[in-house]
A = this chain, B = another copy of it.
Amino acid sequence: MQPQIDKVSDAPLREFVGYHIKRAFNVIQADLNDVLSRFDLRMISYSALVLIVENPGIRQSQLATALAIERPNLVVIIDELEKRELITRDRLLTDRRAYLLQATLAGRRLCDKAATAVGAHEEALFEEIDKDTRSSIVDALNRIEAKSREDRS
């Protein structure tokens, strides 16, 4: 008789916290992209817009580093935000190689609206998890992130 499986067990993978993080992140990302699609934004372009709003005059290279993506891949994202007139791309007078990125009024407004919607969805996803638990999760995640920085140093 050949062995057959009716219910698939992923018990060994569930031993790893990283596995749970990946599965939860998949849910969060799907939800986030769903919300952002209403604003014609994706996770990466939304993040870029937020950082430009928060850091007026940021350079593309700084933005690429902050987003942890390669410079060439940022170009197309910036192109689109500029074409939609959500940001401006002006030459830096003191260094004519660089561009200064700044959000337009429309960009700041869209960013605000999107942030509100994203926040509401986050709240819905995390509603069962109390504030203390959330902050201990964030603290733990920050520690993990810090691990990779100490590796590189």
A contacts, CB < 8 Å to B: 2-5, 8-13, 15-18, 20-32, 47, 50-51, 53-59, 62-63, 65-66, 68, 90, 92-94, 100, 102, 115, 118-119, 122, 124-126, 128-129, 133-134, 136-138, 140-145, 147-148
Contact = CB atoms under 8 A, between A and B. Distances in A.
Copies, count: 2
A17 B47 contact: no
Contact of A12 (B25, B50, B65, B133): B50
Q: For chain A, what secondary structure do more than half of its interface residues adopt (helix, strand, loop), or is it mixed? A: helix
A22 B20 contact: no
Contact of A17 (B15, B134, B143): B134
Contacts of A115: 12
Contacts of A143: 128-129
B122 A30 contact: no
